[in-house]
Structure 1
């Protein structure tokens, strides 16, 4: 079984589980053992699902400004949790390949495996919601047809991304690629590097 063959069903499970309550405040019903890659993949996709719906809420043109600011801070916190979890998943891959000796011709990929995992997780949400639009009983035939076309594109992206991620992992295992983990270092989140915060 490839990595994406393991990850994709977990992401689909998260999206189904999230929509049982469809609440950004729902408790996370993670069924996997803590400190396993399956557990972290579930957590990753749950963060993405909750944030997806927070992004919907904040775009309400009639949202109360105070409520909107509270939600914006919550989205910022979620973004940091998402980044931290991506780096944790990359640590898993670093550990997985730490004994591999890179070939003299080995190259570095443009993104780490976990950032591809991040895109795959979000893609699972796009597919679920686009399918929902394609099947809406209250939508026009044109809307449903456009949504169906977009869904087909997303499904193609899923196939391409799964293939590319699995190929990258094969290359890392064979020493054809090398992996480095660069922390995101988001300056605006750090009170020592954000001038608005450290000048207060």
Structure 2
């Protein structure tokens, strides 16, 4: 099984697991050994699934403004967790390939493996929800047909992205490319860097 196949298998299963509860406050059952790459992939997709539904909830035009603010801050926290997990996954790759000596002409990719994996996780959620739209009993035939076309595109995107991830990992392993781990250095959550926070002393 290629790495992208492992990702897609775990992401699909995790997305299904979330929808057993369909509740943003549900507690997941991560079946993998803590610290393993499988554990990290499950955790990544669970965060994405919860955030997906928080984004749906906050767009309710009748939502209470106070509740909306609470959800917005929860989304901000979720984004930080998501970024941290991506960096953990990249740390796994850095450790795995630390002994590889890059070839003289080796170059960098435009994104690290884990940020590509992040896109793969989101694609799993898009595929799941678009498929649900094609099955909606109260949707028109036209709506279902439109969603089926979008689903076909999403499935093609997953094939292409999966292949690109596996190719990138093969290139890193062979020394044709190398990777660097850049911390995202998000500023808005840091009271020392966000001027709104440090000017108010909060």
Taking the aligned partners of 2:112 and 2:91, their CA distance within structure 1 comes to: 10
The number of residue pairs the alignment matches comes to 200
Secondary structure of 2:66's counterpart equals helix
Give the gaps of 5 or more residues in structure 2.
none
1:14 is matched with 14
Secondary structure of 1:138's counterpart equals coil
1:182 is matched with 182
1:151 is matched with 151
In the TM superposition, structure 1's runs of 4+ consecutive aligned residues that sit over 2 Å from their partners are none
2:141 is matched with 141
Taking the aligned partners of 1:28 and 1:142, their CA distance within structure 2 comes to: 36
1:118 is matched with 118
Q: CA deviation at 1:7?
A: 1.2
Give the gaps of 5 or more residues in structure 1.
none
1:193 is matched with 193
Matches for 1:1-200 after TM superposition, within 5 Å = 1-200=1-200
Taking the aligned partners of 2:188 and 2:91, their CA distance within structure 1 comes to: 24
Taking the aligned partners of 1:134 and 1:67, their CA distance within structure 2 comes to: 31
Q: CA deviation at 1:170?
A: 0.2
Q: CA deviation at 1:101?
A: 0.2
Could you say what the CA RMSD is over the residues aligned between the two structures, in angstroms? 0.4
* TM-score normalised per structure 1: 0.99
